[in-house]
Structure formats: C-alpha cells, structure tokens
Amino acid sequence: MYPTKYHKPASIEDAIAALGGGDDAMVLAGGQTLLATMKQHLASPSDLVDIRAIEGLSGIAVRGGSLTIGAATTHAEVAGSGDVREQCAALAALASGIGDPAVRNMGTIGGSIANNDPAADYPAALLALGATIITNKREIAADDFFTGLFTTALDEGEIIVAVNVSAPTKAAYAKFDQPASRFALVGVFVANGASGVRVAVTGAGEDGVFRHAGLEAALSADWSGSAVDGVDVAADGLMSDMHAGADYRANLIKVMAKRAVSASA
Amino acid sequence: MTKVNMNVNGKAVSGDVPDETLLSQFLRETLRLTGTHIGCDTSQCGACVVHVNGQAVKSCSTLAVSLDGADVMTIEGLANGELHPMQAAFNDNHGLQCGFCTPGMIMSGVDMVARYKAEGKDLTSDAIRAELEGNICRCTGYHNIVKSIEDAAAKM
C-alpha cells in the first residue's frame, strides 16, 4: 500500500477536521473494501479517518417500529440482532449473506452504503425499505442518496451517522450470487409497508441500485410470485460483463423478485 | 511511524510501524509470528484469519494501528501444552495437504464452533461449508476439512 496517515478521532467534529486536513482524506470504517482497494493501488488516500471510536456511531436501537442502525455497526451485529430480526427479518438475513464470516465481523453498514458498489446488498435493502440516511449535517431519503456507480449524495466533509428503517409489513431479499465474489449478480429486495410496495434491484443496473416501477405496480395489485410473470423487465440499462449479459440479468431480476415475494414474511 | 500496543497470544507486545501496516504484516514481520499466512492479494483466501477481541478477522484487511489495545490470537497461541482439539482434528482427519491454508482454516473453525455453541445452534456439515465461504483451499477440496471441524466440534 502507498503510505497514509491514520487518525482515530473521538468525535464527529474531530473527524471532520481530520478529513479537511489531508489532501485526499477518506473515512475508514470496517475497511473491508477500502483496504483491499488500497492494496491493489486503486485508492491512495493521504489520510484515513477511522470513525469506529466515535461514541454513538455503532449499535442498534428500536423506537416504535423504527430501527436506527449506527453507521459503524457491523454486518455480523445486524445479522445477529434480535431487534433487527423482529422488526425486519429480511434485513438480518441480507446482512448474514454479505461476504464471509470474517468480513461480516469488520464490514459496516455505513461503509457499504457510502461506497455504493453496484453489486452490494445493503443499497437494495435501504432503497426498498425507504430508509433515511442520517448524516452529521442532514437526513437524506434513500431515493435521493444512491446517485450512481460508487456515487452518493454525500458532500465533502459529510459523514453517515446512522440509517433509519421503518419495519415493513412484508419484506424479503433474494440474491443470485456471483459464485467467485459472492457479490450479487442480481439481488432483489421487495418490501410492502407504510410507503407502499417498493422493489429495489442491485447487481444489475449500469447506474447502480434502482427501483423497478413495473414490478412495484404488479406487486401493489397482487403480492404474489405469479404477479411477477406478466411484468416486462427490459435489458436496457442493465450491465453486461464476463459474468452475465444484460438479457440474462433481466431474466434473473424476475426470478429473484419471484423468490423474494414467495419468501416474504 | 506509530507505536502500537497489543496483547498477542496472551503477551503484551508493541512495535513502531508505518500507519499503512496491515495486521498480517505486523504479526509476520514485526513479531515474527509467521504462522499467519498471506495467500492472496485480494482479501479473499482467508489464510490470514486470526481472532481479534474474540472474533475471526482477516488480518490482511485490518490496519495494525487501528488495533491499539486489542487482544489478538494467532495460530501460535492456540495450543496450550498440547494441540488444540481443532489442530488435533485436522491431524487425525487429514484435513490438509500442503498446509498453507490450514492456519486460517483452523482459526475460522475455532470461531465457528464457538459461535454456534454460544447460540445453541447445530453446526451441520452444510453449515460448516457455508461458514468456510471465506477460506480457500487449493489442494484437497474441502471434504476432510469439513470432517475435521465436525470432529473438533464434538470435542470442544
């Protein structure tokens, strides 16, 4: 790795100051993507600002059917949380399928969504659940947060503090793993709750995670696997790479949506 | 350079290392604990798995300086006078061929058995295979590795 300077601030204010102090400073949380990227020389931040020692950034709280998950909460903590299982079992199940056990012990929800990898799992969940992303400056609706490949609405010097999710009536996530990386070749999160039926797709879109209007309309009318059959899922705007073509991904979106609806509880 | 203090295998250790030093480098190059292996450059193979504060972690994907004050257990710290039951089981069940991935397999094996026991869940052979997602063996296939962990789980 290229040389970098490590900071471990105890407060958001100190973290912002450290981020502003370097030429090209980056936030470090679990590091399960960032450190691997640095090892490949694909990232070379001048400074790393580790947010894990900041009080209140980690942990899960429930208030009246609403889950607040701190940005530095690990995938293993989300997967193992009784509160998450009770309020939104689909989210706990999704977290238990990210990477592998050692990665889940370090990787964080805040890091995953700030990175917004087009094949990551959490963006699909937060978009389908209509989550709110809480930063040190403001609250951002998931609909406005994920803005493109590895791109989010976060400004310079803005740090995710937590995400807020309302418990859905029914939800599930179905993922077709890319067998080498275990990232989603296609993943579909379906949710039926206070904000209606929302369906988010990861792993497939050229611009990253997206909602599918056709699937949402069909499932709003009839929450069943067979309702997916009549939906036209176009290959336009879907990724093609060595693992799968756009048409294959389009078909997988329907298959995963069906599986998710059938599994939803 | 930053001074790092840790407790490794029950002993207080320290070292002055550049901030970008990975835990795997700190263990191998500063402490000369070369039982933790580096098998890939992409954080996928799991040969470097150690326990940090009781949890399995890929030491190649963690900065040493971020672990000031942490408790770290490596493969060298498992045996206590005699082999740990997981090490004995890999020996008894021929759970290795070249042995390169074995330190990581054993550290992951110990972690999964402890976790499943704590949660009161049954560690089936299917569960072991799923839990070994992040540990890659390029010699033998996984059959005897799974058998070894099943055997050790019954004795731990």
* Total domains present in chain A: 3
Q: Residue A19 belongs to what domain range? A: 5-50
Question: Chain B partners of A103 at a C-beta cutoff of 8 Å?
Answer: 43, 58, 61, 134
pLDDT in tens, B84-108: 999 999 999 999 999 999 999 999 9
Minimum-distance CB partner of A31 among B61, B108, B134: B61
Candidates B53, B136, B5; CA nearest to A105 is: B53
A10 touches chain B (CB under 8 A): no
Per the structure block, which two tokens stand in for A264?
């939803």
A·B CB contacts under 8 A: 78
Minimum-distance CB partner of B57 among A1, A28, A105: A105
Q: CATH code at B92?
A: 1.10.150.120
User: How confident is the model at residue A265, as a pLDDT?
Assistant: 74
Q: CATH code at A15?
A: 3.30.43.10
User: How confident is the model at residue A210, as a pLDDT?
Assistant: 98
Parts of chain A with a pLDDT under 50:
none
| One domain, residues A26 and A109 | no
Instruction: Give the CA angle between residues A137, A138, A144 to the nearest 5°.
Output: 130
Q: Any alpha helices (H) in A42-178, and if so which ranges?
A: 75-80, 82-87, 89-95, 101-104, 109-115, 122-128, 142-145
Dihedral sign for Cα atoms in the order A205, A210, A216, A219: positive
Tell whether A18 is covered by a domain.
yes
Looking at the DSSP bridge assignments, the partners of residue A200 are: A189, A211
pLDDT in tens, A197-238: 999 999 999 999 999 999 999 999 999 999 999 999 999 999
Tell whether A55 is covered by a domain.
no
Tell whether A78 is covered by a domain.
yes
Q: Which long-range contacts (CB under 8 A, 24 or more apart) does B140-145 make?
A: B140/B96, B140/B97, B144/B93, B144/B94, B144/B95, B144/B96, B145/B90, B145/B95, B145/B96, B145/B105
Looking at the DSSP bridge assignments, the partners of residue B78 are: none
| One domain, residues A77 and A96 | yes
Q: Which chain A residue's Cα is nearest to B56?
A: A102
Pick the last residue of a domain from B21, B52, B77: B77
Pick the last residue of a domain from A166, A200, A224: A166
The set of residues, in sequence order, having a beta carbon less than 8 Å from that of A83 and lying 6+ positions away, is A60, A61, A62, A67
Minimum-distance CB partner of B42 among A1, A36, A100: A36
Exposure of B37 by Cβ count < 10 A (0-12 exposed, 13-18 middle, 19+ buried)? buried
Q: What are the φ/ψ torsions at residue A29 (nearest 5 degrees)?
A: -115, -105
| One domain, residues A126 and A106 | yes
| One domain, residues B72 and B119 | no
What is the C-alpha to C-alpha distance for residues A219 and A199, in angstroms, rounded to an integer?
9
Minimum-distance CB partner of A99 among B20, B60, B134: B134
Q: Residue B95 belongs to what domain range? A: 85-155
B20·A3 Cβ contact <8 A: yes
pLDDT in tens, A182-194: 899 999 999 999 8
Residue type, A150: F
Per the structure block, which two tokens stand in for B36?
């933790």
What is the C-alpha to C-alpha distance for residues A190 and A170, in angstroms, rounded to an integer?
8
Q: From the CB of residue A62, how many other CB atoms can be counted at a distance below 10 Å? A: 15
Dihedral sign for Cα atoms in the order A166, A135, A173, B111: negative
| One domain, residues A189 and A148 | no
Q: CATH code at A204?
A: 3.30.390.50
pLDDT in tens, B38-85: 999 899 999 999 999 999 999 999 999 999 999 999 999 999 899 999
What part of B 15-54 touches A (C-beta under 8 Å)? Answer: 18-20, 22, 41-44, 46, 49
Q: Which chain B residue's Cα is nearest to A9?
A: B66
User: How confident is the model at residue B140, as a pLDDT?
Assistant: 77
Do B144 and B81 contact (CB within 8 A), yes or no? no
Q: How large is the ipTM?
A: 0.96
Locate tokens 């909460």: which residue? A73
A43 touches chain B (CB under 8 A): no
A138 touches chain B (CB under 8 A): no
The pLDDT > 90 percentage for chain B reads 97
Q: Which chain A residue's Cα is nearest to B131?
A: A101
User: How confident is the model at residue B115, as a pLDDT?
Assistant: 95
User: How confident is the model at residue A22, as a pLDDT?
Assistant: 86
